Amino acid sequence: MSKERARRRAEREAARERAASRNEERQARAARRRAVVARLTPRPVRFARQGGLRARRRRAQNAVVALAFALVQVMVWLVWASLAVSFGVLVLSLLLVPVVMTLAFDRRI
């Protein structure tokens, strides 16, 4: 009886060792795969925003200018159906945006 019990215990231990080795191999393979994926995946680029009063004011001013530029383009597109007029206003707007920003906003702050 004790020989049979010892044989069964040895079989259980052998099965447990085989399962443990398979598990270790699987974990090692998964770790290698994660390392390769981590090496090949680009890291996200974080843009640090300035948080001061001047930076917030400048962002607000830029947003106002961009919104006005877009509204002018949409209005010209809706009022005049001519592609030449729309293109001309686009070029004129691109040339006048820096002038308007210089005149409208005090950038010496």
Q: How far apart are alpha carbons 10 and 5 in whole angstroms?
A: 9
Summarize pLDDT for 30-65 with one digit per residue, the tens: 999 999 988 888 888 877 777 788 888 888 888 999
For the residues 68-94, what does the mean pLDDT come to?
90
- Supply the mean pLDDT for the chain: 87
Q: Is the dihedral of CA 6, 12, 16, 18 positive or negative?
A: positive
**pTM for the structure as a whole:** 0.51
Residue 68 has pLDDT above 60, yes or no: yes
Can you give the residue ranges of every domain in the chain?
A: 1-46, 53-104
- pLDDT-derived band at 22 (thresholds 50, 70, 90) equals very high
Between 1-10, 19-28, 45-54, 90-99, the lowest mean confidence (pLDDT) is in 45-54
pLDDT of residue 82: 85
Buried b (16+ CB within 10 A) or exposed e, 75-97: ebeeeeeeeeeeeebeeebeeee
Residue 4 has pLDDT above 60, yes or no: yes
Q: How far apart are alpha carbons 28 and 34 in whole angstroms?
A: 10
Q: How far apart are alpha carbons 89 and 72 in whole angstroms?
A: 9
